[in-house]
Amino acid sequence: LKKTIKVWSRRDNKLKGDCRVPGRYIRLLQSPGVINGHNTNLEADDTNWAVSDPGSVICHVDKPYFKNQSKEPAMAICIENNDIFTRFNEIAAQVENCP
């Protein structure tokens, strides 16, 4: 994706968001967070996903956002669907500030 993405994934303390290239930011979602009035956190959730900003693309990723996995093969399945994107984008509204 050549867009800004908002990422929900377990992560280490080494990798941070990246806002150096305008229009191609990596924004990390806040944890803990609130989803439909329910509290959640990354430790309680094994999923790894990202949404495009702007756009209507949601991607499921098979690896967490860890620095030691940055050179390992990984797979992402991306879907462009407004209905699915809208649900995930509501969650993705809670992003951390850029470092």
Secondary structure in 3-state letters for 13-28: CCCCCECCCCCCCEEE
Domain contains 8:
yes
Domain contains 70:
yes
pLDDT confidence of residue 4: 94
pLDDT in tens, 4-56: 999 989 888 888 899 999 999 999 998 888 777 888 888 888 889 999 999 89
**What 3-state DSSP class applies to 2?**
coil
Residue 42: which domain range? 4-91
Domain contains 24:
yes
Domain contains 99:
no
Confidence of residue 60 (pLDDT cuts 50, 70, 90): very high
pLDDT confidence of residue 33: 81
Q: What is the CA angle 63-2-71, rounded to 5?
A: 35
Question: In the block, which residue shows the tokens 């209507």?
Answer: 56
